[in-house]
Structures are given as structure tokens and as C-alpha cells.
Chain A
Amino acid sequence: MAQVRPARGRRSLGLTLVVSEITVLFRRLRTWAMIGALALIPILIAVVVRVSSDGAASGRGPAFLNSITQNGLFVSLTALTVAIPLFLPLTIGVVAGDTIAGEANLGTLRYLLVAPAGRLRLLLVKYAGAALFCFVATLTVVVTGAIIGALLFPVGPVTLLSGDTVGIPGYFVRLLLLALYVTVSLMGLSAIGLFISTLTTIPVGAMAATAALAAVAQILGALPQLEWLHPWLFTNYWLGFGDLLREPIVWTSFADNALLQFGYIAVFGTLAYGRFSTKDILS
């Protein structure tokens, strides 16, 4: 019994830490500003299409754009396609880059470590916060898209890429899977951001470096000369979410993506641990 109690105490401490981390994260004005900006993407797309839908120019623009006038539910997909390459990595970069460096910059890091939390646990808690933000950010784009689409356009059964049709409930299951897919896609980037954040005490530097890495990986991914490298880039499956919109669903990209992101989490998570646990905390 004597051994169980401290263990339970430690676990509850971990939980309180997670809860406090999440409350701090979502009490920040910055977090809400970013979520608001993400929500603006589908709203902007829907309003622009609505205002200018006079025989729409077909064949150009992001995927699914032409389908919006027929079915408002496609707004979510167009917005997601637009948000994935730039806006989502940018916001993830801000959150993940801020994790450790932000505390160090504010001088709160050493107080966090005074509590018997342990550096590994602090890293895990910080990472959990970043991961939750990934999911909330993705869900914001998808849900706002569905709402604004339903408000401005007719809504009905959705045509999948394979030409089959699913009803609205089935479509929402797929949207949830999509949000999950995109969240998993961003986990590798979050781990990279966490590692970079342990390297510096200047959060802006870590944020910029993380967002820039996402851009660099996508540029490398666009060069056919570097084809051998592509399967190893964390951005490789970012636009593979289309596989969830086929009938039957093709799960291979989901599985490959999860494995790849897990690899990035393992590599950069252990790097972050190595760095953070050996670092002298001065602030």
C-alpha cells in the first residue's frame, strides 16, 4: 500500500499538469486568434464562391472548389486542402515552438521544474497540449466549413471521389476520420517543434524554424529529382487524406502516414528528451 500511494499521487500530478497546461494554452488570446484565423479560411472560401457564383470558372483552383455550389458540405474539404500546406503548419509551429522556449523566456520553466514533475513528464505534457491543439485546429476548419457551407449552399448526400454517394451521417463519420488523419499528419511536425523549442530560450526563433521546416519539406517533396527522399519526408502524406473519400476507403495511406509520423515522434521525442534532460535550466 505504501508503494501504491505515491504512484497514484504522481499520476494525479501528471493529470493536473496536463489539465493546467491545456487551460493555460486555451486561455491565451494568441491561441484563440489562431483558431479564429483558421475558422476564417472556410468562411472566406464559402462567401467568395457564394458572391461570385455566376457560372463559376471550372477546372481551376483547389480541389473540390467547383463542387461547393452544388453541395455546401464540400466547403470543409476545400478549406482543408487550402489550410494543410500553410496555415495549419504555421499555427502548429507557433504552439509547438512555444512549448519549452516560451516557459524559458518567461522565466517560468524553473518553477515548473521545482515541482516534483520531472523533465520527461513536463515534455510529455507539453507535447500532449500541442497534439490537442492540432486536433482542435483541424476540427475548427472542418466544422466551420460544414456550418458555413450549410448556411450558404444547398446540402445533400455527398459524392465521393469514386463516384459513389454517401448520406450526410456517413459523410460526417468521414469528416471525423479526416480530422483524425490531419491531426496524425501534424504530430511529426509537433515533435520537431518540441525539439527545436528545447534548443533555445527565444520562442519566436523556435516557431519560425518549425514553420520554415514544414515549408522546406514540402518544397523538397515537390522536386521529382529527390524522389528517393519523398517517403521519408513528414509532409509526404499530408494531402493523402483523399483516400478517406473513396469507396471503399483506402487505408494504406492512413497506416503509412501513422507509421511515418510515429517515426518522427520517436526520433525527435528522444532528441528532445536528450537535450532537455541534460540542459542547465537557468531561467
Chain B
Amino acid sequence: MNKNWRWLPAGIVPVVIVTAAVSGSAVAEAQPQLPAKTAQELLEFVATSTDDAYSGTVEQSSDLGLPDLGAVDAPGRTSSSDPTSMALELLTGEHTAQVYVDGTDRARVQVLDQLAQRDVVVNGNDVWYYDSESNEAAHAVLPDKAAAKAELEAKLQEKSAEYPELQDLPRTPAEVAEVVLATIDPGTDIRVDGTSRVAGRSAYELVLTPEDEATLVGSITVSVDSETGVPLNVTVLAKGQEEPAFSAGFSSVDFGAPDADIFEFTPPAGATVTEAPTADEARAELEARAELEAGQAPADAPAQMPAEEQQPTVIGEGWSTIVELPAGTAGGLGLDLGTGDTAGMGEIMEIKPGMDPDEVAGAQALLEQALTQVDGGRALQTSLVSVLITDDGRILAGAVGVDQLVAASQR
């Protein structure tokens, strides 16, 4: 008696599953047919999309060749309260976020961690940040947009007599596109290169390729939705690395206005709420401090640099630009590497002083491990960005190889 046919289902099911898995990814790769657009037209299209409402899931991943710092902590439970570890966290591993956008006024981003979540809610002038793990909320009030705009316009009028070129500020999407193209263009090949499917939607691929040999950036691809002009995906390829060094994009997206409730946020009972100073207060505080330090009132520019000698020097131009921070910054900023954007970092730290020294020490130890000894200092080499800390305390950073940084530091 032959009963072996009874094993048949057990053989068929895995075949069906594998076929479904393979064909599923094959369908996703089919390229849609779309009317051709030039880079200029596509950028105009993007510039018209700022008022759109949509919601969706964003997947972000980085592969910079750094050790996965998330794995050091318990999975999905990275300490997220201080800006340094947040920045470090974004440079490694993968994240999923729910994004809700309604025009330029209202947005909510929910970073989904395992059994935890971080929310940023923008509703008009109110900005809320909430971290479920520490049960901490922060609130900031943005300057009134209409007033700020009027102020800016008035200033522009005032200054345009001095600087006539200010009158040519871009106002329409087409002008914005022109300006963007003109700014990017030197040393960059920018073109619309085919189409793709992102989150089930057809998209144009805008590819920026540096012509500069020295930079580590291979190319940047922006996928632009063919119907709305909303950028759906950004991928950065590094030279000599097959997997994208950085990618962020929608895995699903819905172009309907999200529920108004989503943008309403009230901090839960029992949460620690921090109130951030308003822009005016922050400026006043900065000015007072600068007065104390320099003994004179500074110009109206709201400089975030604590002191004048810490102004960074810029070496080179275009894609292989190197930013050099003068001696003394390495000690003070310590961990302010990776991004090369000290001004932005300073701003964040201004809002959140009193970082946990233990956490900082932990992050510092991690950084020490990632640094390698090179000629005249220590360097952090990632696939996109290199950072050099010279023995005399200068920090050099740029999207170039470490050898370029070393050469620049020895000039």
C-alpha cells in the first residue's frame, strides 16, 4: 500500500511559500512607464508639493561600516535622552517611523522602537517631544510664522537697497528649482535617471553624482512620487560599498489628510515636562552670555558658537569640503563628531543642558574604540564621512578619505 502521496502537501507548501516570496520581490522591481521629465522640471515639481498632506511608514537604515551601537544596549532600548547618543544611534542600525504630515503647519513623527516610542508633534506653533521610555516630554513654542515672515520681508526690503541681488530671492517653485540646480551644479552630475516603484507608487529617480574624485559619496538618489512630487525615498551610496550607506524612505504611504486628532498632543499624567525657552528668550540669554564673555554686545546674528576663536575653517569646496575646528574644540565638544555640524549640535545642547555624565562617558568609551591611530592624530573612518582628531586638538571632518584629512591638517 503506497501512502507516500500523503507527504505531497508537505512538499508543495514550502515550494508555494518560496515562490510567493521570490515573485513578490520581482513584482516590486518592475519599472513603471512615466512621461519624461528633466531635472529642472522634477525639482519644480518637488517644490510645489510642500502643502501636501500624507501619512505613511518610513524605514531608515544606515550602514556606515561602524559597529552597531544599538547592539551594545538591550535591543530596541537605546538610551535616547541626550542628543549625542541620539545622533550616534541614527548613524547605525535601522529605524521605523510613522509619519503624518498635513501641510507645513502640522506634522507628527513617531519613531517606533520595540515596546517604546518617541514622538515629535508639530501643531501650528507648538512643538512637543515625548519619549515613552523615560516618560519625559518637552515643549517648545515656535515664533509666530506670520509675524516672522512679515519681519523677514521688512528686513529684506531694508537690506535690498544695500544688496540688490536679494531682490532675486526665489519665490515660485520654478525659481526655487533654478536656485537649487545652480547651487548644486558645480561638480555634480544631476539628472533624472529612470523610474522606480516606492511604497507601491511610481516615482522618478533623481540622481546626483559628484564628479569630484576625492569624495566618499558615490551618488545620491531621490525618488520623487510621480503624482504629487513628494520625495518618497533618499538613498546615499558610498564609493566602494554595494549596500547603501544611508537610506530613508516610505515603505507605505497614503496621500489623504491624516486625522486632526493625531496632531493634538497633551503630555500624559505623570510625565516630566520640560519647557524649552522661546526663540526670543534663547536669544536674550545668548546675548547676555556673550556680553559677559566678550564685554561687548554682539551683532544681531544669533551665533551659537560660544566664543569667536571656535569658528570653523572651511578647506576646499564642493563635495570634498573639509571643515576644520580649531584647537581646543576636541576637548570641549568631545563627541561632537560624525555630523560635522557643530552649530546644530550646539543648539540642541543649549536646550538640554545637564546631560547624564555616565551616558556621555559610555558614548565616549565607544568612540575611543572606533578611533584608529593615524599619522598626527586619531581618525574615525566611516564609509561616508571621516573625522580626524589631531594630536594638537583640532578636529577635521569631511566626506573624504582619512588621508585627505591628514594632508589638510598638515598644511
Contacts and interface: CB of A to CB of B under 8 A. Distances in A.
Interface of A: 59, 63-64, 66-67, 70, 81, 156-157, 159-165, 222, 224, 239-240, 242-243, 246, 248, 250, 252, 263, 266-267, 270-271, 273-274, 277-278
Contact of B268 (A81, A163, A243): A163
B112 A243 contact: yes
A213 B111 CA distance: 32
Interface of B: 3-4, 6-10, 12-14, 17, 57, 68, 71, 75, 77, 98, 110, 112, 114-117, 119, 128, 130, 132, 134-135, 137, 252, 259, 262, 265-271
B333 to A, nearest CB: 26
Given A242-B116, A273-B9, A67 B135 contact: yes
A196 to B, nearest CB: 14
Contacts of B130: 162-163
Contact of B117 (A59, A246, A267): A246
A246 B9 CA distance: 39
Nearest to B108: A162
Contacts of B77: 63
B115 A250 contact: no
16 contacts: A159-B268, A159-B269, A159-B271, A161-B116, A162-B119, A163-B137, A165-B268, A239-B114, A246-B98, A248-B259, A250-B98, A270-B13, A274-B6, A277-B3, A277-B6, A278-B3
Contact of B110 (A63, A64, A246): A246
A156 B269 CA distance: 10
B132 A81 contact: no
Contacts of B68: 224
A64 B10 CA distance: 42
Contacts of A266: 13, 17
B112 A278 contact: no
The winner among B8, B119, B266 for most chain A CB atoms within 10 A is: B119
A240 B6 CA distance: 36
Given A165-B269, A278-B4, 20 more contacts: A159-B135, A160-B132, A161-B116, A163-B265, A163-B268, A163-B271, A164-B265, A165-B268, A239-B115, A240-B114, A242-B114, A242-B115, A246-B110, A248-B259, A266-B13, A267-B10, A270-B9, A271-B10, A274-B7, A277-B3
A63 B3 contact: no
A278 B6 contact: yes
Given A267-B10, A278-B4, A163 B119 contact: yes
Contacts of B3: 277-278
- Interface on chain A toward B: helix, strand, loop, or mixed SS? helix
- Interface on chain B toward A: helix, strand, loop, or mixed SS? mixed
Contact of B75 (A156, A222, A263, A271): A222
Contact of A162 (B14, B17, B117): B117
A222 B77 CA distance: 14
Contacts of A156: 269
Contacts of A246: 98, 110, 112, 117
Given A270-B10, A278-B6, A162 B269 contact: no
Contacts of A250: 57, 98, 112
A273 B132 contact: no
A222 B73 CA distance: 12
A162 B110 contact: yes
Nearest to A246: B117
B132 A274 contact: no
A248 to B, nearest CB: 7
Contacts of B14: 267
A221 to B, nearest CB: 9
A162 B117 CA distance: 6
B268 A273 contact: no
A246 B117 CA distance: 8
A266 B117 CA distance: 34
Contacts of A239: 114-115
Contacts of A252: 57, 252
A270 B9 CA distance: 6
Contacts of A81: 115
B232 to A, nearest CB: 17
B117 to A, nearest CB: 4
B115 A161 contact: yes
A161 B117 contact: yes
A267 B17 contact: yes
A161 B132 contact: yes
A64 B270 CA distance: 14
